[in-house]
Amino acid sequence: MNATKSNATIGATVFVVDDEPMLLELATAILEPVGCAVRTFRDPELALKEFAVVHPQVVVTDYAMGRMSGMDLIRECRRLNPRQKIILVSGTVDGQVFADAPVKPDKFLSKPYQIHELADCVLSMIAD
């Protein structure tokens, strides 16, 4: 998929949840130019509170974040919206981490990912 703006992506809200501020800035720099309205969160619990109000089209979450893991966040988001589109990213585990989990992300990206990988993944999920 080509990472260009389309009517489907312009203004689509994407939550990015990661405890690393630099990675939040990077995700914003990648996704805003392709038309996404990016909301970033260092604390997954704050993201979850906003999730109930804002209803993002896509959630991008890191796996390891302290008190609440990315898998915990996925479980809670899916409890509130079973069809929520979610991308799990991690530099410490691979896709096998959720193989036996009752709730799974839609996509998995290994860190470090290429700029086009994140943009293409998010845009393809918005287009679905």
pLDDT in tens, 22-35: 999 999 999 999 99
pLDDT above 80: residue 10? no
Written as one letter, the residue type at 19 is D
| Whole-structure pTM value | 0.90
Distance, in Å, from the CA atom of 124 to the CA atom of 128, rounded to the nearest integer, reads: 6
Strand pairing of 85-90 and 107-110? parallel
State pLDDT tens for residues 49-90.
999 899 999 999 999 988 899 999 999 999 999 999 999 999
State the pLDDT confidence band at 2, using cuts at 50, 70 and 90: very low
CA distances from 64 to 2, 20, 40, 73 (A): 30, 10, 16, 11
